[in-house]
Amino acid sequence: MLKVLILSIVIIIAVLALSVFAISKGYAYEHKIDPLPDDSKLDDKEEKNS
């Protein structure tokens, strides 16, 4: 019975550690997006379309 309790605690600690590791790695990921277009380029396109 004691062996089952110790094994359960070890599994719980391992799952908790892996969860914390995965969450911290996800937050550390550098998300990259396309840059926003310049306002001057938008104005030129709008004037050509008008």
- pLDDT tens for 35-45 read 777 766 555 55
- What are the residue ranges spanned by the domains of the chain? 1-25
Average pLDDT, the chain: 83
Q: What angle do CA 6, 12, 13 make, to 5 degrees?
A: 90
- Percent of the chain with pLDDT strictly greater than 90: 50
